[in-house]
Amino acid sequence: MSKSNTNDFIVIKAKEDGVSVIGLTRGTDTRFHHSEKLDRGEVMIAQFTEHTSAIKIRGKALIQSSHGEMETD
């Protein structure tokens, strides 16, 4: 199995319009490499990869992962 297939997925469900989901890179300099805007009720499934070391979420959203479920304020 390749490394990218062993990573966990996270599910992000927007609880309001305009929720930002921002992917941040790995390496010596952390940089933005991808962003998405979600409207209320939209769902995004994301995965940490060899290029993505962090995911930043702005706005009210429900986040589900293998580590549990949480909501942003």
For residues 7 and 65, the answer to whether their CB atoms sit within 8 Å is: no
Q: What is the pLDDT along the chain (73 residues), one digit of tens a residue?
A: 344 445 678 999 999 999 999 988 877 777 878 899 999 999 999 988 887 888 999 999 999 999 999 999 8
Number of domains into which the chain is organized? 1
| Residue span of the structural domain in which 29 resides | 3-71
Strands (E), 1-73: 9-14, 19-25, 32-38, 43-47, 52-58, 61-65, 68-71
Q: Which residues have CB under 8 Å from 4's CB, separation 6+? A: 47, 49, 50
- pLDDT of amino acid 6: 52
Residue type, 58: R
- pLDDT of amino acid 7: 64
This prediction's pTM: 0.80
- pLDDT of amino acid 4: 45
CATH number of 34's domain: 2.60.40.50
